Chains A and B, each alone.
Chain A
Amino acid sequence: MNILEIEGLKKKFGSHQVLDGLTIHVPEHSVFGFLGKNGAGKTTTMKIVLGLLKADAGEIRVCGERAVYGQTKTNRFIGYLPDVPEFYSYMSAVEYLRLCGRITGMSEKEIRRMSGELLELVGLKGVKKRIGGYSRGMKQRLGIAQALFHEPKLLICDEPTSALDPVGRREVLEIMEQVREKTTVIFSTHVLSDVERICDRVAVLNDGKSVMEGTLEEMKEKHKKDSLLLEFPRKELLKQFVEEPIFQNLLSRAKLEGCQVIIHAKDIEQAEAELIRGLNETRLMPSRLEILEPSLEGLFMEAIQ
């Protein structure tokens, strides 16, 4: 079952078409990475799902129910962590969570149980001071706790790691890995290493559309290995290599960068054999020869071009 379905979503700010027929399906129990450049429309999409912004066209279903702007009915399925979560600074974490519990109609007993559990999970147990005195990382962690408080079926996180230092980022990612068993996570970011670490499905947003969608393996499979990297210790050697007539066939689709050359070929093994034979004949010895794995970064750059 799909926990979230977005069909043909359109949104325009002034003359700028931010979303132009975006369609995304998020299956249950996945960690869904939502990628895109700054300003690609990631936050806009999330806000529309949450009923905080009005869409110009398109339909959104959360757990099979239609999400409507201004109404917050479908939000009972959703936990939301904004990029910079804001709290009432004069409250303590426990008080804030109690408020969250009460407005979602939880019993006092449940509120106490969940507060204990979640504050433990995010490492804020026993912190007595008011939220006004929290660091950014602490606020982010409290943000996760409040988002998970009513045990949502869908957790939406808007760039949860981008404002954090390496320690804070690791903590947040670890928490998200822990909760994946209980809930589906959608997670927008432009930090690709985070995606590779915890996401199992990915969609890349560009020009208001999803230009690539699928599991990480599927995407890497589709863009299978087709490049060879060759590095020389000195630039003169590279120059010599490029000018050598024997390699001209291979170099027809190559890219030069510093002391490196990247060769693209349809049949990578044949190209490699040809290259090694040529290198042997010309006695040009590279310092490195490598078949390039398709990286998420490469896929991402390709997708948004």
Chain B
Amino acid sequence: MRAYTAYTAKELTEFTRTYKLLIIGLVFLLFGIMSPLAAKFMPELLTSFMPEGMQITIADPTALDSWMQFEKNISQIGLFVIVIVMSGMMAGEYSRGTLVNILTKGLPRRTVILSKFTAAVLLWTGAYLVCFGTAYAYTWFYWRKTVNTPGLTEAAFALWFFGVFLVAVTILGGVLVRTSYGTLLFTGLAVVAQFLLNMIPKVEKYNPIQLAAGGTPLLQGQLEAGSLVKPMIVAGACTVGCVVAACAVFHKKKL
């Protein structure tokens, strides 16, 4: 247990000192500010870019628009940034050979994986909270009472959960392929595979990608929160599966 906390602390130090924390913090803070702002000023922007004499009617922006922007930004660029940063977690250790000293001290290999997963999830959660908090504050500032859009808690939680799942996939990829580009490719393929599987109606109900893709329809009231339970169970099982598989594979890796 002490080895686990020590190694997790090492990972968190690494995030701070290699500026990963700073980068992710700033990016997510930016999204937190931008989502409500974009929703608020999009109509004005559009009208100002319209050619003269042309008229369109755009509905007044609401808190719902702000949260839809939030869902869109995080589920696309936000997760992408997280995966890029995490893709180097295992690759860096492999390529620099820094694990040799640590493992020959008797640190169990699975502790390395569990610590890295913990630290990555902590970073993701922290960044997500910053982003959500900022977006909440701005949305409240512009729209006051309507800030708590129906389905917001469920949608926000589902997106966070999908992020955790993606972190686990990235860790497994990192253990398997050794390079950060390879890890990116692995995670990318995993996401593409989920999109492809979504085309089969029977699978769609269980597909973890629903957690990210279902946020907007949920906020719009086109989807019931209950329909995210099955994807969540699958994503949870897959997360555990990925971490267990990463430990098992790492046990057999030569260094």
- A50 and B104 contacting across the interface, CB-CB below 8 Å: yes
Confirm or deny: A99 has a beta carbon within 8 angstroms of a beta carbon on chain B: yes
- A150 and B105 contacting across the interface, CB-CB below 8 Å: yes
Confirm or deny: A247 has a beta carbon within 8 angstroms of a beta carbon on chain B: no
Confirm or deny: B97 has a beta carbon within 8 angstroms of a beta carbon on chain A: yes
CB-CB contacts below 8 Å: A97-151 with B: 99-100, 102-105, 143, 146, 149-150
Q: Which residue of A lies closest to B253 (CB)?
A: A70
CB-defined interface of A82-95 with B at 8 Å, one 1/0 digit per residue? 10111110110001
Confirm or deny: A73 has a beta carbon within 8 angstroms of a beta carbon on chain B: yes
Chain B: interface secondary structure?
helix
* Interface magnitude class on chain B: 20 to 34
Q: Which of A80, A85, A99 contacts B6 (CB 8 A)?
A: A99
Confirm or deny: B18 has a beta carbon within 8 angstroms of a beta carbon on chain A: yes
- Looking at B7-15, B23-31, B153-161, B174-182, the stretch in contact with chain A turns out to be B7-15
- A82 and B101 contacting across the interface, CB-CB below 8 Å: yes
- B104 and A72 contacting across the interface, CB-CB below 8 Å: yes
Confirm or deny: B227 has a beta carbon within 8 angstroms of a beta carbon on chain A: no
Chain A residues with Cβ below 8 Å from B254 are 47, 52-54
Confirm or deny: B251 has a beta carbon within 8 angstroms of a beta carbon on chain A: yes
Q: Which residue of B lies closest to A70 (CB)?
A: B251
Q: Which of B6, B14, B252 contacts A102 (CB 8 A)?
A: B6
Q: Which of B96, B98, B108 contacts A72 (CB 8 A)?
A: B108
Known interface pairs A70-B109, A76-B106, A90-B18. Does A52 touch B100 (Cβ–Cβ under 8 Å)?
yes
Chain A residues with Cβ below 8 Å from B229 are none
Q: Which residue of B lies closest to A100 (CB)?
A: B105
Tell me the minimal C-beta distance from B102 to chain A in angstroms.
Answer: 7
Give bound CA distance, A143 to B105, whole Å. Answer: 12
Give bound CA distance, A253 to B102, whole Å. Answer: 55
Give bound CA distance, A75 to B100, whole Å. Answer: 11
Confirm or deny: A78 has a beta carbon within 8 angstroms of a beta carbon on chain B: yes
Known interface pairs A80-B101, A86-B96, A99-B6. Does A72 touch B109 (Cβ–Cβ under 8 Å)?
yes
Known interface pairs A80-B101, A82-B97, A87-B98. Does A99 touch B10 (Cβ–Cβ under 8 Å)?
yes
* Interface magnitude class on chain A: 20 to 34
A-B contact count (CB 8 A): 85
Chain B residues with Cβ below 8 Å from A146 are 101, 105
Give bound CA distance, A18 to B213, whole Å. Answer: 53
Give bound CA distance, A13 to B105, whole Å. Answer: 26
- A85 and B106 contacting across the interface, CB-CB below 8 Å: no
- B106 and A72 contacting across the interface, CB-CB below 8 Å: yes
Chain A: interface secondary structure?
loop
Give bound CA distance, A80 to B107, whole Å. Answer: 13
Give bound CA distance, A52 to B106, whole Å. Answer: 12
Q: Which residue of B lies closest to A80 (CB)?
A: B104
CB-CB contacts below 8 Å: B1-44 with A: 2-3, 5-7, 10, 13-14, 17-18
- A102 and B104 contacting across the interface, CB-CB below 8 Å: no
- A52 and B104 contacting across the interface, CB-CB below 8 Å: yes
Tell me the minimal C-beta distance from B100 to chain A in angstroms.
Answer: 6
Confirm or deny: B122 has a beta carbon within 8 angstroms of a beta carbon on chain A: no
Tell me the minimal C-beta distance from B17 to chain A in angstroms.
Answer: 4
Chain A residues with Cβ below 8 Å from B97 are 82, 84, 86
Q: Which residue of A lies closest to B19 (CB)?
A: A90
Known interface pairs A86-B98, A91-B13. Does A75 touch B3 (Cβ–Cβ under 8 Å)?
no
- A102 and B100 contacting across the interface, CB-CB below 8 Å: no
Give bound CA distance, A72 to B7, whole Å. Answer: 16
- A104 and B106 contacting across the interface, CB-CB below 8 Å: yes
- A103 and B104 contacting across the interface, CB-CB below 8 Å: no
Confirm or deny: B255 has a beta carbon within 8 angstroms of a beta carbon on chain A: yes
CB-defined interface of A40-52 with B at 8 Å, one 1/0 digit per residue? 0000000100111
Give bound CA distance, A53 to B253, whole Å. Answer: 8
- B252 and A75 contacting across the interface, CB-CB below 8 Å: no
- B2 and A105 contacting across the interface, CB-CB below 8 Å: yes
CB-defined interface of B104-117 with A at 8 Å, one 1/0 digit per residue? 11111101000000
Chain B residues with Cβ below 8 Å from A86 are 96-98, 100-101
A to B CB contacts below 8 Å, 26 in the list? A47-B255, A52-B255, A70-B251, A72-B106, A72-B107, A72-B108, A72-B109, A75-B103, A79-B104, A80-B100, A82-B101, A86-B96, A86-B97, A86-B100, A91-B13, A95-B13, A99-B6, A100-B101, A100-B102, A100-B105, A103-B3, A103-B105, A103-B107, A103-B111, A105-B3, A146-B105
A90-B14, A100-B102, A102-B3 known, 8 other contacts, Cβ within 8 Å: A52-B104, A72-B103, A90-B13, A103-B2, A103-B3, A103-B107, A105-B2, A146-B105
Taking Cβ atoms with an 8 Å cutoff, the residues of B that contact A are 2-3, 5-7, 10, 13-14, 17-18, 96-98, 100-109, 111, 251-252, 254-255
